[in-house]
Amino acid sequence: MNTRIKKFTTKLIEGLLFLCGTISSLVVLLIICFLFKEGIGLFQTQPIEEGYIVAVNKNNIVNTLSPAQFKEIFDQNISNWSQLGGNNDSIILFRVDDISNYYTDEELGANFENIPQKISELVEKTSGMIAFFPEKYFDKNFTGKKIEIDKTTLHAFLSNKEWFPTAQPVAQLGVLPLILGTLWVSLGAILIALPLGLATAIYMAEIANKKVRRFLKPVIELLAGIPSVVYGFFGLIVIVPMIQQVFNLPVGETGLAGSIILGIMALPTIITISEDAIRNTPRAMKEASLALGASKWQTIHRVIIPYSASGITAAAILGIGRAIGETMAVLMVTGNAAVIPHSILEPMRTIPATIAAELGEAPQGGMHYKALFALGCILFIITLVINLIVEIVSNRRKKLTKI
């Protein structure tokens, strides 16, 4: 009887564990599918304001414009249709607010009911006009032709240098400044955290006595439990003014401030994993090195560190992963400037900070909303690549250990 109960209990526990694992895996897969579904939607819609139309004269041979060309037209950097492959005709911009410059209030009607007809008439008689107006003013007998704005392509999304998702009349969706900002801050963080973390790990594993190790271990682990917003406040009050004074900058909110904060936040990960890798060095290898006449420092440099290189590399990569995915602290100290950074002493913006700052203001289902999800897809891919590298490095370490 007891044997049957034990078997039943074992099966029940196994079933519950399997169910929990299955549910967790499905949840993760559903989240990933939802992320990419929303992000891919960006490349299936035109980047103009929803509910608006772009129209030109029916004799105009230009049928499509890229978002960058449309922006250049409204910025008046392109003033002739010949620059776009059309006729040699000056470009005349028209918005619905300009209708009063062409018609009187009486012609438009007491309730502006004649606006659709007048827009159609104006576009027909003005050969170089490009009209941008709400779809509700599109006359059913419109004599001009609609012009298509090219959909955002993946290449343009990744390579364009302007991030203005709320720009009118066409959103400018270039994530290159955000990607470069993320890489600048993350690279600076790992350059700060890796030497300091590795030195601390070596000290704790090979030099410090038990009392010092028992004290340092929980203190370092405590760093991982501090909320990121607290790091952000520390950076805003201490690091930012210090950078501004030391480098004589107009503002201290720079990529360097973000790198320092993220470097501090990445230290617990790097120290903990590196120390474990160092402490797992076989004692026989250390004793053999010392027996051959090597000093303690020579043993650390030539035996322990090379043997634990895979673990140290994994620690550095995981530290980079922590830096890339951090949001709040970076949002508070980097200046949030979505421009191409040329120096780490300039304000910049990262991908996670952009998502956190703008998602609450983006209308659900709109172009801005989909662009932020596309940013999330990029961040997911970067994190996935980092995790795969960690797996490769860890497997290599296991193979070397077996050898």
pLDDT confidence band for 196 (50 / 70 / 90) = very high
Percent pLDDT > 90 in the chain is: 20
Do residues 144 and 126 touch, judged by C-beta distance below 8 A? no
pLDDT confidence band for 403 (50 / 70 / 90) = low
The closest of 284, 324, 271, 278 to 304, measured between CA atoms, is 278
**Continuous H helices in 280-366:** 283-291, 296-299, 305-307, 309-325, 328-333, 351-358
Rg, Å, the chain Cα set:
30
User: In a 10 Å sphere around its CB, with 0-12 CB exposed, 13-18 middle and 19+ buried, how is residue 111 labelled?
Assistant: exposed
- Position of tokens 């009486």? 106
State residue 256's pLDDT score.
93
Q: Do domains 52-153 and 176-402 have the same CATH topology?
A: no
pLDDT in tens, 358-390: 888 888 888 889 999 999 999 889 888 877 877
Helix %, strand %, coil % for the chain, to 5?
65, 10, 25
State residue 239's pLDDT score.
93
**Rounded to 5 degrees, what are φ and ψ at 145?**
-140, 145
pLDDT in tens, 14-30: 889 889 989 989 998 99
pLDDT confidence band for 258 (50 / 70 / 90) = very high
Percent pLDDT > 70 in the chain is: 97
- In this model, does residue 394 exceed pLDDT 80? no
Q: Pseudo-torsion of CA 98, 103, 108, 109, nearest 10°? A: 140
Average pLDDT over residues 270-275: 89
State residue 402's pLDDT score.
54
State residue 396's pLDDT score.
66
Average pLDDT over residues 242-250: 92
The fourth-level CATH superfamily of domain 176-402 is MetI-like (1.10.3720.10)
For the chain, domain boundaries: 52-153, 176-402
State residue 240's pLDDT score.
93
CA dist 68 and 342 (Å) reads: 23
- In this model, does residue 145 exceed pLDDT 80? yes
Q: What is the sign, positive or negative, of the torsion defined by CA atoms of 103, 107, 112, 116?
A: negative
Number of Cβ atoms within 10 Å of the Cβ of 370: 24
State residue 177's pLDDT score.
92
Name, in order, each residue with C-beta under 8 angstroms of 125's C-beta and a sequence gap of 6 or more.
Answer: none
State residue 398's pLDDT score.
57
Please state the three-class secondary structure of 208-256 as a single string.
CCHHHHHHHHHHHHHHHHCCHHHHHHHHHHHHHHHHHHHCCCCCCCCHH
CA dist 169 and 154 (Å) reads: 21
Range with the poorest average pLDDT among 109-118, 210-219, 320-329:
320-329
pLDDT confidence band for 397 (50 / 70 / 90) = low
pLDDT in tens, 50-77: 788 899 998 888 888 888 888 888 888 8
pLDDT confidence band for 324 (50 / 70 / 90) = confident
- In this model, does residue 147 exceed pLDDT 80? yes
CA dist 258 and 216 (Å) reads: 25
pLDDT in tens, 120-138: 999 888 889 999 988 888 8
State residue 385's pLDDT score.
84
- More confidently predicted of 328 and 263: 263
pLDDT confidence band for 399 (50 / 70 / 90) = low
* The architecture CATH gives domain 52-153: 3-Layer(aba) Sandwich (3.40)
